[in-house]
Structure 1
Amino acid sequence: MSTRAPGTPATVALERAGIPFTAHTYEHADTATNFGLEAAALLRLDEEQVFKTLVTDVDSRLVVAVVPVSGRLDLKALATAVGGKKAQLADPHLAERRTGYIVGGISPIGQKTALETVVDETAWLFDTVFVSGGRRGFDIELTPDDLRRATGATVAAIARD
């Protein structure tokens, strides 16, 4: 378990579930717009090991996609993975309201409304992966299997270069 982790819904959910994680904080720059790449650079991590959380709209339902910050979300592959026809990025204000997090700090874990989640299969290339801990400047490191367990995610090839 983490020591001195900032108290966020994500850390509370992990602690409640008994899922081990390591907290990593960094100094977020207000001028940063690519939050995942900022985290990878400041934490000195491989960009393929740091994952971004994207809230999408698949046929009028919200679905969370978790993909490496080094790549892009394949919206068609995501729609197919959840049995949908068309996917697009969700309205940021709606994403914030439904998850309880702000853009740039949306964690796939501990969301206000538990949303269907899909994690890109490349997460299993690593012993551990990094996802947002629920605020800008805070990432959580955990195993891909624990990420899947914490989110109830399915696994699919949803990322592209």
Structure 2
Amino acid sequence: MKKVSLDSVKAHFRQWNREQDIMEFETSSATVEQAADTIGVLPARIAKTLSFRGEDDKAILIVAAGDAKVDNKKFRQVFGFKARMLTPDEVLENTGHMIGGVCPFGLKKDLDVYLDVSLRRFQTIFPACGSTNSAIELTIDELYEYSSAKGWIDACKGWEEGAETQEKVSADLA
């Protein structure tokens, strides 16, 4: 299954001649922390894809920064219903990807994808590519285009504190 999922993502990126840019690792990149360690970036720059039950039970995907957590109140304001995550089986059934490799590319079903504003503070981010040991570096604009995102939303919390620390670290390094 892992290979099929990665292959569907490679096929997806072939449209832009970017399939060769997918990185495959010897170690796991299934969690934000593992991916950040493997790639050598801050965990916040890992673009995690979260799967929710939408209206009429159609799944929706939200891609957010690695340090962001879904804010139930904001989620309800954006979508008009309560945030309910899919089970691992439902995620696989809807996306074709297993937990740890879920991404908004090469999806099994046509799903609505939204990008959280927590990602906008970075020039490039690293979403998974369908397996628990893959990723690709994309600009924010590329992520928007390649994921066929419906739009930007503000549905997460917890990352703002990280953004302030990030700015301070960047300023100290400059």
| TM superposition score normalised by structure 2 | 0.77
Q: Does 2:16 match 1:27?
A: no
CA drift of 1:21 comes to 7.6
Q: Does 2:58 match 1:61?
A: yes
User: Structure 1 unaligned runs (5+)?
Assistant: 1-5
- Structure-1 residue corresponding to 2:126: 130
- In structure 2, distance between residues paired with 1:89 and 1:16: 30
CA drift of 1:80 comes to 3.0
- Structure-1 residue corresponding to 2:87: 91
1:156 to 143, 150, 153: 153
**Partner SS, residue 117 of structure 1:** strand
CA drift of 1:27 comes to 2.9
Aligned AA (1:77): K
Any conservation in 2 of the 1:68–1:159 contact (CA below 8 Å)? no
- In structure 2, distance between residues paired with 1:79 and 1:160: 13
* Greater C-alpha Rg: 2
CA drift of 1:143 comes to 1.1
Q: 1:111-122 to 2 correspondence within 5 Å?
A: 111-122=107-118
- Structure-1 residue corresponding to 2:38: 42
Aligned AA (1:54): L
- Structure-1 residue corresponding to 2:68: 71
- In structure 2, distance between residues paired with 1:20 and 1:143: 15
- Structure-1 residue corresponding to 2:164: none
Task: Name which of structure 1's ranges 150-159 and 104-113 shifts more when overlaid on structure 2.
Answer: 150-159
User: Structure 2 unaligned runs (5+)?
Assistant: 159-174
**Partner SS, residue 51 of structure 2:** strand
What is the count of residue pairs matched by the alignment?
Answer: 152
Any conservation in 2 of the 1:40–1:47 contact (CA below 8 Å)? yes
CA drift of 1:114 comes to 2.0
Q: Percent identity?
A: 22
Aligned AA (1:25): E
**Partner SS, residue 85 of structure 1:** coil
Any conservation in 2 of the 1:53–1:67 contact (CA below 8 Å)? yes
- In structure 1, distance between residues paired with 2:76 and 2:152: 13
**Partner SS, residue 129 of structure 1:** strand
CA drift of 1:74 comes to 2.0
Moved >6 Å (runs of 4+): none
